[in-house]
Amino acid sequence: MTVLSMSRAEIDRVHVLRDVVAERITVREAAQLLRVTSRQAFRLLKAYRIGGPAALLSKKRGKPSNRAYPAIVRSEALALIKTHYVD
């Protein structure tokens, strides 16, 4: 058994898509509940059917931001701040 760390939004997606698979709601209703387009809902449903709840997790989780500065820039900025400001 694998333990997944999911956000509240990802958990909500799992519950809605589970209802679609069980045919309690339609894909169009699921799209409205998830506030996505029908096309996006079909894409999520396909991923859910193939990979289960793990397929709905963010692929960027645990990776650095594309907009992050390199560590050297951060350390140089902190060194400048420490030299000019006592507190």
Q: Which domains does the chain have, with CATH numbers?
A: 1-62 (1.10.10)
Interacting residues of 14 by C-beta distance below 8 A, sequence separation 6+: 6, 48, 53, 56
Distance CA 69, CA 56 (A): 28
Task: Assess whether pLDDT exceeds 90 at residue 7.
Answer: no
- Kindly state the average pLDDT of the residues 30-34: 95
Note if the pTM is more than 0.85: no
Position 1 scores a pLDDT of: 63
Task: Assess whether pLDDT exceeds 90 at residue 87.
Answer: no
Is 30 in contact with 45 (CB distance < 8 Å)? Answer: yes
- Kindly state the average pLDDT of the residues 16-28: 96
Distance CA 39, CA 47 (A): 13
Distance CA 29, CA 17 (A): 10
- To the nearest whole number, what is the mean pLDDT of the chain? 91
**Confidence band (pLDDT; 50, 70, 90) for 60?**
confident
